[in-house]
Amino acid sequence: MKELKNHLLCLIAVCIWTITPSQAQLKTANIDTLVEHAMQKFGVQGLSLGIIKDGQVVHSRGYGINTIHQNKKVDEHTRFAIASNTKAFTSAAIAILVDEGKLNWEDKVIDYIPEFKMYDPYVTANFTIIDLLCHRSGLDLGAGDLMFFPDGADFKLKDVLNSFQYQKPVSDFRTTFTYNNLMYIVAGELITRVSGMSWCAYIETKIMKPLGMKETGCSYETLTSKQNIASPHAVTKEETKAIKPFQIGLAAPAGGIYSSIGDMMKWMSLHLNAGNFQQQQLISEKNHLKMWTPHIQLAFNPTPKAPYRIHSSNYGLGWSIFDLNGYVLFGHTGGLPGMLSQVILIPELEIGVVVLTNTSEGGAYAHASIVRTIVDNYLGLNDFNWTNKLYKRYEDYQENGDSITVQVWATIANNTSGQPDVEAYTGTYEDNWFGKAEVFMKNGKAHIQFLRSPQLNGELQYYKGNSFAIKWQYQDANADAFAIFSLDEEGLAQSIKMKGISPEIDFSFDFQHLDLQRVQTDPVKK
């Protein structure tokens, strides 16, 4: 990846920055320079950027290409996965149901989904609809995401509902923000049971159609046309490769939507106008405010430092909420393999910014540098040089993860210590919520296969002690893992604990939450 010369950032600073929010003016050519610089720095293949101000579209443009396999350019109609920006659609659908008088925010989940059962009976009995939407369940970060990460697993809604009783909390109920996707799957089912329509049909009917979001679909699987869709890409030090679109399945209410920046600006306009779009009140102001009210605090600082002066960060219902230099901002990020996005709204200034990208992991740093630069400009702040500063963090991120994984695989390649009798490890192991895994011999080597998640299979390569490293068949994300066996007094394996090899592994590969107990000692025949 080639770097642009330092004078380019100076050019950006001179052309873009002004003195006060009311005077801020952004020119298309200057934005183009900013975006193209960020894309080159972070190796992003394709990107779309949309900006609205005072009810008007002031920028709507695509950059780069849909896929490295074709020279088809991204435009304002190109559709990307918006991933967790979907969560705000799910909370908006529930707000509409409240407006319709079909439920209340404080209703108990078990009143609509009786089979919902948490680890603690008190939590089960008192878990409300609001609790589903603001990440205060007490469960660990990403708990249960292995049911749809990687894609291709066969888990259903009943498995998600069944899993909660086996997932031990890591904090007390309603005390701590801990991001969790599974609760949004439950929220999607709640919408289905209350409305009589699927989650997808409800948001299409109540949100997408009234907004005229004709280029938006509930998930990749539901898109009727596969034309002009950005392909996801993964970047390593060795190569940039196009990867297959992530099939999110049952987790669509948490992160399934595909959209274009043209459609997303309609979505942003709805929220900048407190639930009103073109004189139609789709969400009442009261319930729109409910989504934008902090329900759990992430951080607080009574004496923040200039220039950003961030006093607090919070989470509402599908929205992150924080203050910046005297203004309250609402937004969210989204991430799936090869697809990263960000939305930021500043209601007091009537500003909305959306960036959609098709490259991991650089896309996250690219959209952050672009959004932060644009927001800083509108707030009248000096150039913080976000692109270069975030590039340093990106390099550190890569180096941190790479150094560990490289060291692990080098240790395995150069292993001269005697390998344990791996046949003593073969058999069937089972986790209460994730199901069975088979450890078996194939061509003289030990392998592991999770029966309900076909892409989680690979060779067990000896590392140290009773630990093995697994290079999965699935390589669209950096998700290789350790398997650590516990033995009985006879040296026979009894259980397996797991964790990701890279410290930078995506939290949705939550191998650490598995508790695999041996249920069959006979060798598995393969």
Amino acid at 168: K
Confidence bin at 399 (pLDDT 50/70/90): confident
pLDDT of residue 16 exceeding 60: no
Region 332-339 average pLDDT: 98
- CATH number assigned to the domain with residue range 65-138+173-379, chosen from the 4 options 3.40.710.10, 3.40.190.10, 3.30.920.30, 1.10.10.10: 3.40.710.10
Comparing 65-138+173-379 with 422-520, is the CATH topology the same?
Answer: no
pLDDT of residue 153 exceeding 80: yes
pLDDT of residue 15 exceeding 50: no
pLDDT of residue 225: 86
pLDDT of residue 419: 81
Residue with tokens 């060779």: 459
pLDDT of residue 262: 97
Least confident among 190-199, 264-273, 418-427 = 418-427
pLDDT (tens digit, 9 = 90+) per residue, 292-311?
999 999 999 999 999 999 99
Q: What is the DSSP string of 289-305?
A: HHHTS--EEEEE-SSPP
Residue 318 backbone class (left: φ over 0; alpha: ψ -120 to 50; beta: rest): left
Confidence bin at 484 (pLDDT 50/70/90): very high
pLDDT of residue 452 exceeding 80: yes
**Cis peptide preceding 304, ω within 30 of 0:** no
Instruction: Tell me what percent of the residues of the chain surpass a pLDDT of 70.
Output: 94
Region 396-408 average pLDDT: 87
38: helix, strand or coil: helix
Residues in the chain: 526
pLDDT (tens digit, 9 = 90+) per residue, 422-450?
889 999 999 999 999 999 999 999 999 99
pLDDT of residue 523: 58
Average pLDDT, the chain: 92
pLDDT of residue 522: 65
Confidence bin at 13 (pLDDT 50/70/90): very low
Give Dmax over CA atoms of the chain in angstroms: 76
Region 231-240 average pLDDT: 88
pLDDT (tens digit, 9 = 90+) per residue, 320-332?
999 999 999 999 9
pLDDT of residue 24: 52
Confidence bin at 524 (pLDDT 50/70/90): low
Domain ranges in the chain? 65-138+173-379, 422-520
All residues at 6 or more sequence positions from 157 whose CB lies less than 8 Å from its CB, including other chains: 185, 189, 250
Q: 446, 456 in Cβ contact below 8 A? A: no
pLDDT of residue 8: 28
All residues at 6 or more sequence positions from 135 whose CB lies less than 8 Å from its CB, including other chains: 177, 178, 179, 180, 183, 296, 315
Amino acid at 432: N
Q: Confirm or reject CATH 2.40.128.50 for domain 422-520, answering yes or no.
A: yes
pLDDT of residue 519 exceeding 60: yes
